Structure 1
Amino acid sequence: MSLLLAVALLAAVLTAATLRPFGLPEAVVAVPAALLAVAAGLVTPDVALDEIAELAPTVGFLAAILLLGHLADVEGVFRWLGARLGSASGGMPGRLLVLVFGAAAGTTAVLSLDATVVLLTPVVLATAARLRLPSRPHSYACAHLSNSGSGLLPVSNLTNLLAFPATGLSFLGFAGLMVGPWAAVLVVEYLVLRRYFARDLRGGPGEQPEAPERGSAVTGPAADSAAAQRAPAFALAVLAATLAGFGMSSALGVGPGWIAAAGAAVLAVRALLRRETGPVRLVTAISPGFCLFVLALGVVVAAVAGQELAGWLGTLLPDTPDLTGLLLTAVVAAVLANLVNNLPATLVMLAALGPSPHTGLVLAMLLGVNIGPNLTYAGSLATLLWRRIAAGAGDPPRLGTFVGLGAVTVPLGLLASTLALWASLALLT
C-alpha cells in the first residue's frame, strides 16, 4: 500500500506538471504531495530535509541560469542570433538547418535546454517564417537538441547537475568524457532530421515545397528583421566570461551556481540601470514556482525510492562499465525517463546505482535520461514546453511526427553516444 500511495503521488505530480490545469504552477500539486508523503510516513522528515538540502545547490543554479538566459534575451542576444541565422542561410532551408543545429547545440550547452526551448525556438520559428521557409525541420531541431544536445556540460541540463556530484569529476573532466558522446548524438540527429524532412529542405530561397505543420504564420516582435542590429557585445562578453568561469569552477572550489549568479548579476545591474527590466520581472524570470516544484518533486521521488523500488531497479543494473553495462544502463534510464519523466528518473536511477557508482555508469545513465525524452512528449518538461511554444507560434507539432522521428533518433543516438562514451572511458580513464 505504501508503494501504491507513493507512486500515486508521483503520478499526480507529473500529471499536473504536464497538463497544468487552469494554468496553475507545477508546485501547486507537488508541494502538498510532498507534505502528504511525509505525513503518511512514506519518507521521514529528516530524509525529506536531507533531500531538499542536497537539491538546494542544483535549484540555486537553475534559478541563476534562468535569470541569465532572460537577461541575455533582454540584451537582444537571441534577436541578433536570429538575424545572423537568417542572413547566413541565404534563404536556403538546408543551410538554415545547419545553422540552427549549431545555435541550438551551443545555447543548450551553455545556457541549458530551457533557454533553447523558451528563447531560441520562437526566434527560429520567426526566422523561418520571415524567409518563407518550412519551419518543421528547424522547430524539431530545437526540440531534439534541447534534450539530446544537453549532455556536454554539467550546466547544460538539470539532470546533469543532479548527477554531477556522483560522477566524482571536475567540470572540465565531465566535459572531456562527454564531448565524444555529445558529438556522436549531434551527428545522428542531423543525419536523421536531414533525411526525415528531406522534402521540406528542398528548393531555393523562399520556396516551400510542402506546407509546414502550422495553423498561421508566425508573427510578433521576434519576426522583425534585425539584420542591421549590432552584435550585443557586452552581453556576449559576459556569457563568454561565465562559460570560462564554469570551466574554472572546480579548480577554484566555487560551485557553478555562483558563477551563473555572478554573470546574471552583471547583466541585471546593467538592465536595471537602463530600465530595460524591473525587480518584479527579474523575480519572475527565476521561476520560483518551478524551483519549488523541483524541491518538492525530490521529496516525492525519495518516497517512491524508499519503497524498495530503487533497490529492485538496482538489481537490473550492472556493476561494471563495460560496453554491455553502459548500454543496459542507458536503455533502462531512457525507458524510465519516458515512463516517469527524466527528472524523477534521474533521482531514482541515482538511488538505484548506489552510494558509490562507477563514473561511467552515471554518465551512461545521463545519456539515457537526456536522449530518451525525444521519444515521447512526457519524457521531458522541456519537450512539453516546446510543444506549447510551437503551438502558440502557429506551428503545432503532430504526435505522429514527434514519435516517428524519435523512434529513429533515440535508439540510434543512444547506441552512437554510448559507443563514444565507452571509447572515451577507455582513452581518458
Structure 2
Amino acid sequence: MHGLPAEALSVLLLLATLVWAVVRPPRWPEAVVAVPAAAVVIATGAVSLGHAREEAVRLGPVIAFLAAVLVLSKLCADEGLFHACGMWMARRASRAPAEARPGRLLAAVFAAASLTTAVLSLDTTVVLLTPVVFATAARLGVRAKPHVYACTHLSNSASLLLPVSNLTNLLALAATGLTFTRFAGLMLLPWLVAVAVEYVVFRRFFAADLQGREEDREAPGSLETPRVPLFPLVTVVCTLAGFVVTSVLGTEPAWAAAAGALVLGARALHRGHTSPRGLAVAAGVPFLAFVVALAVVVRAVVDNGLADWLGRLVPDGSGLLELAAVAGLAAVLANLINNLPAVLVLLPLTAPGGAGPVLAVLLGVNIGPNLTYAGSLATLLWRQTLHQHAHRVGLREFTRLGLLTVPPALALSVLALWGSLHVLG
C-alpha cells in the first residue's frame, strides 16, 4: 500500500492512537492501541520494515534514558525526596502572613517544579510532584488550583533547559550534534523567559484564588523541619554531573541515568524497600512501547506525504522571523497531533538548517502544548493525577489560561533564543 490510501490509513491510525491516549481508562496503557496500529502500518506496507527498524534503533538510546529516569525518579520519591520538597514549600509559605501564603506557595511551587522538570524530566513533575503540591496546599489551607495548574504548565514550558528535561529534547540533541553544555547554554535564556512569563500570567489569572484562603488545617509552628534525604539528593547531583561528562566523551546520557538508577536501585533492593518487579514497573515498559509504536506510525504518515507538505511550509534560515515561523508551526502541529509526533515529523525537515531551527522546534513543541489537553503526554498524565484527587479541570479555564500564556511565552522565548544564538554563536 502506497500513496493516498497509505497516508489515509496512517493518519487514521495516528488519530486513533492519540484519542486512546486522551480518553483511555486509568488501568489501560497507551500501548493497547499504539502497538497494534504500528503492526498494521507495517503489515500493509504503509511503512517498510526497514524504516520501522530505523525508528526503533534511533529511539533506542532515548528509550533507555527515559526508563532509567523513571526508575530514578520513583526511587527518589520512595526515599522521601519529594516529601522533603513539599515540607520546604510549606515552611517557606507559612512564614508569610496568612493572606500572603497562597502567593508565597505559588512562588515556591514554580521554583520546585521548574528545577524538577529541568533535572528529572517533565514526567517526574506531573506524576510525583503534583501529589506533593496537593498535600502541601491542603496542609496550609490554601486553594490547590493555581499550584497544581503550575505543575502541568511548567512540566511543558520549563522543560526547555537541559537535553534530559524532555523526550523531545533528547531527540533534538541527536539532530543538532550539540554538546550537553552547549545545548543548556543556548536554552538557558529562553527557559528563564518562559518561566517568568508563566509566573506573571499566573499571578494575574489566579488573583482571586491567591487571595482567598480555606480554613487553617495546620498551624505554621507545627510544620516539621524537612529532613532532606542526602543519599538520593547526592545521587541526583552526581547523575546530573554524569550527563555533562557523557556529553564531553560523546556517549549517550542514558549511561549516566542508568548509573544513578542502578545505585539507588541496588540500595533499595538491599534494604528491602523495593523488588525487581517494582523496579520493572517503575520503568514504565508499556509507556516505552507506546513511544516506539507511536514513532513507527508517525513515520508512516511522514513517508506517505506529510513530509512533502510540511517541507513547503518550513522556512529556510535562522533569522528571527524564520525562527518564529518554525516555532509557531511546531506549536500548532503539537496541538493537532501531540508534541512527540510533531517533533518526530519536524526534526528531519529542520535539521539541515542547523541548531537554530531545531531549537525553535523545541520552543514550539514544549511551550505550545499548554494550549490543549492533547498537546503533550505530560498533560494527559497530569489529568489522570487530578482525577485521582477528585479535582475537576474545566476545559474552558484550561484553554483560557493557555491562550494567555502560550503566545507571549513563545514569542519572547523565540526572541531570547535568537539573542542566544547571536551571542554564543
TM-score range relative to shorter protein: over 0.9
- Asked whether 1:428 is paired with 2:424, we answer yes
1:114 is displaced (CA, Å) by 0.3
1:351 is displaced (CA, Å) by 2.9
Query: For residue 214 of structure 2, what is the aligned residue in structure 1?
Result: 208
Percent identity (aligned): 54
Query: For residue 213 of structure 1, what is the aligned residue in structure 2?
Result: none
Number of equivalences: 412
Separation (CA, whole Å) in 1 of partners of 2:384 and 2:54 = 34
Query: For residue 212 of structure 1, what is the aligned residue in structure 2?
Result: none
406-415 or 395-404, which moves further after superposition?
395-404
Query: For residue 369 of structure 2, what is the aligned residue in structure 1?
Result: 373
User: Structure 1 runs of 4+ off > 4 angstroms?
Assistant: none
1:226 is displaced (CA, Å) by 7.2
Opposite residue 383 of structure 1, the aligned amino acid is T
Separation (CA, whole Å) in 2 of partners of 1:12 and 1:32 = 11
| Corresponding residue to 1:30 among 20, 31, 34 | 34
CA contact under 8 A between 2:34 and 2:294: conserved in structure 1?
yes
CA contact under 8 A between 2:26 and 2:384: conserved in structure 1?
no
| Corresponding residue to 1:304 among 284, 291, 301 | 301
- Asked whether 1:15 is paired with 2:19, we answer yes
CA contact under 8 A between 1:80 and 1:227: conserved in structure 2?
no
CA contact under 8 A between 2:317 and 2:353: conserved in structure 1?
no
The C-alpha deviation readout for 1:189-236, integer Å capped at 9, x for no partner, is 000001101111125xxx339xxxxxxx99xxxxxx872442101110
- Asked whether 1:248 is paired with 2:254, we answer no
Give the match's secondary structure for 1:23.
coil
| Corresponding residue to 1:125 among 134, 148, 151 | 134
- Asked whether 1:382 is paired with 2:406, we answer no
Query: For residue 180 of structure 2, what is the aligned residue in structure 1?
Result: 171
CA contact under 8 A between 2:197 and 2:409: conserved in structure 1?
yes
CA contact under 8 A between 1:342 and 1:369: conserved in structure 2?
yes
Query: For residue 257 of structure 2, what is the aligned residue in structure 1?
Result: 260
CA contact under 8 A between 2:126 and 2:155: conserved in structure 1?
yes
| Corresponding residue to 1:56 among 41, 53, 60 | 60
The C-alpha deviation readout for 1:132-157, integer Å capped at 9, x for no partner, is 00111101111100000000000000
Separation (CA, whole Å) in 2 of partners of 1:199 and 1:31 = 45
CA contact under 8 A between 1:200 and 1:208: conserved in structure 2?
no
CA contact under 8 A between 1:181 and 1:420: conserved in structure 2?
yes
1:76 is displaced (CA, Å) by 0.3
- Asked whether 1:79 is paired with 2:79, we answer no
1:364 is displaced (CA, Å) by 0.3
- Asked whether 1:403 is paired with 2:408, we answer no
Opposite residue 361 of structure 1, the aligned amino acid is P
Opposite residue 281 of structure 2, the aligned amino acid is T
Residues 1:226 and 1:264: Cα distance change in structure 2 (over 3 Å): farther
Residues 1:21 and 1:234: Cα distance change in structure 2 (over 3 Å): closer
Separation (CA, whole Å) in 2 of partners of 1:328 and 1:399 = 27
Separation (CA, whole Å) in 1 of partners of 2:383 and 2:423 = 39
Opposite residue 63 of structure 1, the aligned amino acid is A
1:22 is displaced (CA, Å) by 7.2
CA contact under 8 A between 2:21 and 2:380: conserved in structure 1?
no
Query: For residue 293 of structure 1, what is the aligned residue in structure 2?
Result: 290
Query: For residue 166 of structure 2, what is the aligned residue in structure 1?
Result: 157
- Asked whether 1:419 is paired with 2:415, we answer yes
Give the match's secondary structure for 2:325.
helix
| Corresponding residue to 1:140 among 143, 149, 166 | 149
* Structure with the largest fraction of helix: 2
1:21 is displaced (CA, Å) by 4.3
Give the match's secondary structure for 1:155.
helix
- Asked whether 1:284 is paired with 2:281, we answer yes
Separation (CA, whole Å) in 2 of partners of 1:22 and 1:256 = 31
Separation (CA, whole Å) in 1 of partners of 2:185 and 2:376 = 25
Query: For residue 39 of structure 1, what is the aligned residue in structure 2?
Result: 43
What is the TM-score when the length of structure 1 is the normalising length?
Answer: 0.93
Separation (CA, whole Å) in 2 of partners of 1:273 and 1:421 = 46
Opposite residue 145 of structure 2, the aligned amino acid is R
1:416 is displaced (CA, Å) by 0.8
Residues 1:421 and 1:31: Cα distance change in structure 2 (over 3 Å): same
Query: For residue 336 of structure 2, what is the aligned residue in structure 1?
Result: 339
Separation (CA, whole Å) in 2 of partners of 1:71 and 1:357 = 40
Task: Name the Cα RMSD after superposition.
Answer: 1.6
Alignment of 1:176-191 (within 5 A): 176-191=185-200
Give the match's secondary structure for 1:150.
helix
Give the match's secondary structure for 1:336.
helix
| Corresponding residue to 2:207 among 176, 181, 198 | 198
Query: For residue 269 of structure 2, what is the aligned residue in structure 1?
Result: 272
Opposite residue 402 of structure 1, the aligned amino acid is F
- Asked whether 1:391 is paired with 2:387, we answer yes
CA contact under 8 A between 1:14 and 1:341: conserved in structure 2?
yes
Unmatched 5+ stretches in structure 1: 210-216, 219-224
